[in-house]
């Protein structure tokens, strides 16, 4: 396989869609962050001594959990080590799932066997569909290196998934993509 691969028109459209989705989720996250900050500020302005309701504190803590996690990441770890840290965080947040919902954002461990292709061991995907044997979706990691794959739209064989699925909330995508879990592997023919 020659590298870099020239993307065909379908692959360029898929890459463009991933870039647009990432921008959309980023804006959604910033809008949600602004909303939460405004609610807390309104409570404080109304009465500086007011006790903020515990449910709002919990919502705020969970909302910022991934952002705070990214800001405190230790440097110089390997992608598997970062992925393990991500899993610990997402398990604490109750995000481990046995199956994925269509249009959800997820990360998981995947070990492919298809020869002559690159695959991502720890994809971050937007699930677009499934069959009895496969999940399909956009892998946001390939946005950084589209020249190594035919398309950022990928198919994942159920039997090759090596972990639970870990849900990522849309406002967290921007932060998740800052965690260096991207691990492209080439399987020679």
77 Cβ contact list (under 8 Å, min separation 6): 85, 180
User: Average pLDDT, whole number, for the chain?
Assistant: 83
Task: Tell me the β-bridge partners of 148.
Answer: none
Residue 29's pLDDT band (cuts 50, 70, 90): low
What is the rounded CA–CA span in Å between residue 27 and residue 46?
Answer: 28
What is the rounded CA–CA span in Å between residue 92 and residue 68?
Answer: 14
Ranking 20-24, 102-106, 184-188 by mean pLDDT, the lowest is 20-24
Residue 3's pLDDT band (cuts 50, 70, 90): very low
Report residue 172 as tokens: 């967290």
Check whether 53 has a pLDDT greater than 50: yes
Check whether 46 has a pLDDT greater than 80: no
Per-residue confidence (pLDDT) for residue 102, from 0 to 100:
86
Check whether 137 has a pLDDT greater than 50: yes
* C-alpha dihedral (113, 115, 116, 121), degrees to nearest 10: 10
Look-up: residue for tokens 């269509």?
Answer: 102
Ranking 61-70, 119-128, 148-157 by mean pLDDT, the lowest is 61-70
Report residue 123 as tokens: 């994809």
Higher pLDDT, 172 or 8: 172
The residues spanned by each domain of the chain are 9-187
Per-residue confidence (pLDDT) for residue 183, from 0 to 100:
94
CB distance 82 to 180 below 8 Å: yes
Residue 119's pLDDT band (cuts 50, 70, 90): very high
Per-residue confidence (pLDDT) for residue 1, from 0 to 100:
40
Angle among Cα 184, 185, 189 to the nearest 5 degrees reads 145
Per-residue confidence (pLDDT) for residue 31, from 0 to 100:
66
């Amino acid at each position: 396989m020659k590298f870099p691969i020239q993307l065909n028109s379908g692959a360029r459209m898929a890459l463009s869609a991933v870039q647009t989705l990432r921008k959309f989720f980023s804006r959604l996250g910033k809008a949600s962050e602004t909303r939460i900050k405004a609610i807390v500020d309104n409570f404080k302005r109304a009465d500086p001594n007011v006790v903020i309701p515990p449910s709002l504190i919990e919502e705020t803590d969970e909302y910022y959990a991934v952002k705070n996690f990214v800001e405190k990441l230790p440097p110089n770890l390997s992608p598997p080590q970062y992925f393990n840290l991500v899993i610990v965080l997402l398990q604490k947040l109750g995000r481990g799932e046995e199956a994925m919902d269509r249009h959800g954002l997820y990360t998981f461990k995947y070990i492919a066997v298809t020869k002559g292709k690159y695959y991502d061991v720890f994809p971050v995907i937007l699930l677009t569909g499934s069959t009895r044997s496969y999940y399909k979706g956009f892998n946001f990691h390939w946005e950084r290196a589209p020249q190594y794959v035919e398309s950022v739209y990928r198919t994942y064989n159920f039997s090759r998934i090596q972990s639970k699925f870990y849900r990522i909330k849309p406002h967290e995508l921007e932060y998740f993509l800052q965690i260096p879990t991207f691990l492209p592997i080439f399987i020679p023919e």
